[in-house]
Structure 1
Amino acid sequence: MDVPLQEWTWTELWPHAVLMIVIGSWLLYHFLAPAGWREWAGAGLVQAFIIALYAEMYGFPLTIYFLTTFLPVKIPLFHSSGHLWATLLGYGSTGANVEMLIGSVFVVAGLVLIVRGWVRIYYARGTLTTDGVYHVIRHPQYTGLFLAIVGQLIHWPTITTLVLSPIIVWLYIRLAFREEQKMTEKFGAAYAEYRQQVPMFFPHLSDFQ
């Protein structure tokens, strides 16, 4: 008899972990395309985030073992228990579904920004890009990455991803500032004017009106 997904144990789901790690890694290196060592360092941290996320989601539930060992909480060792916010707050499967839906909205929005930003850069062929999604924010791919990380922390929080997340954000913010210095040197006043008009990571509220 088939076992419902919510009652599967992690040992039955390792193939899912491998598949999702491969897909996530391909998306990372294809659409963020690291070049210099700083980009590779950032991509490496995101790669670690992806591995840690899906290894726990479909492989070994390290966070649940940690919580049940060091804190007075009881969490069943089933796949569905990995929806930690719903599990710890006692919201059950309904809470888990809401948690997954909210997280998925952030992840999808992030992926859309990453892809749209990549498309604009790809067809710009080294020229200054200020249209499309770049007309709203200067670093849509990094914003997309941040949104995807937030979505995964809502959907499936783990100790490792919670630790990695602020480090990734900090690194990519620094990377964005370094990129802007190079863009200012390359495009001069045109890029300086662009920086004054368009926000770095998040749109102005007026852009939603």
Structure 2
Amino acid sequence: MIDPGPSYGLWSLVAINSAVFIFFAASFFKPRSPRDWRSLGMYSAFIVALFAEMYGFPLTIYLLSGWLAQRFPDVDFLSHDAGHLLEVMFGWRANPHFGPFHILSTVLIGGGFWLLAAAWKVLYAAQSGGRLATTGPYARLRHPQYAAFVLIMLGFLLQWPTLITLTMFPVLVVAYVRLARHEELAAVAAFGEDWSRYARQTPAFIPHWPDQRESADSA
């Protein structure tokens, strides 16, 4: 049985945690254009919705309470730890912060923030010099910053899945893809054949495995 943890209704924690993770993303992403601010805004909406259920009101658990109580009668779903639903559903009854999904989520969130910061350094240097960003993370992906936001959100989904964020996630992924396509149109106009050559060799969001990249380069 999962031991009770902190109660819900902690709206100050909702505000603090939301502010911290939005500030981290903003400091790494450093939005400047309207498109950048839209990207950060979508991520921010996801984060606020997540922490509102994590510390405020557990809407998902409330809506699924009948099904959850029937399937897992030994779990106290009013405890905070029970909000880690994937650990509960797959039988992890120890501290959920050491569960497999929580560990994987930490890796994804940390990797996402690292990618966001690493990509910004390359992009800033390239924009300052009026050239195309093709080194660092941009040597593997055309849109590493958008990929970073997706990794962070996916990590939070594994850690604390909710009905709202599960609904938001695919919508936000599609929105990031559309923003990326708009950026590519601007890049074509600015860099012409250099961009076309780079785009043919570099995937947009998912990097090639080494053998795939070698095949693409030789093609």
Residue 78 (structure 2) pairs with residue 77 (structure 1): yes
Q: Secondary structure at the match of 2:168?
A: helix
Shift of 1:41: 3.8
Q: What is residue 8 of structure 2 aligned with on the other side? A: 10
Distance 1:62-1:132 versus aligned 2 partners, 3 A rule? same
Alignment of 1:1-209 (within 5 A): 7-11=5-9, 13-32=10-29, 33=31, 35-36=33-34, 38-68=35-65, 71-74=66-69, 75-93=76-94, 97-98=98-99, 99-124=101-126, 125=128, 126-206=130-210
Q: Secondary structure at the match of 2:43?
A: helix
Runs of 5+ unmatched residues, structure 2? 70-75, 215-219
Identity %: 35
Distance 1:39-1:167 versus aligned 2 partners, 3 A rule? farther
TM-score (norm 2): 0.83
1:66 maps to a residue whose letter is L
Q: Which sits farther off after the overlay, 25-34 or 105-114?
A: 25-34
TM-score (norm 1): 0.87
Alpha carbon RMSD of aligned pairs, Å? Answer: 2.2
Shift of 1:34: 5.4
Aligned residue pairs total: 201
Runs of 5+ unmatched residues, structure 1? none
Distance 1:34-1:156 versus aligned 2 partners, 3 A rule? farther
Q: Which runs of 4 or more aligned residues in structure 1 lie more than 4 Å from their structure 2 counterparts after TM superposition?
A: none
| Alignment partners' CA distance in 2, 1:179 and 1:9 | 44
Q: Secondary structure at the match of 1:72?
A: helix
| Alignment partners' CA distance in 2, 1:18 and 1:84 | 22
Shift of 1:139: 0.8
Q: Which sits farther off after the overlay, 131-140 or 19-28?
A: 19-28
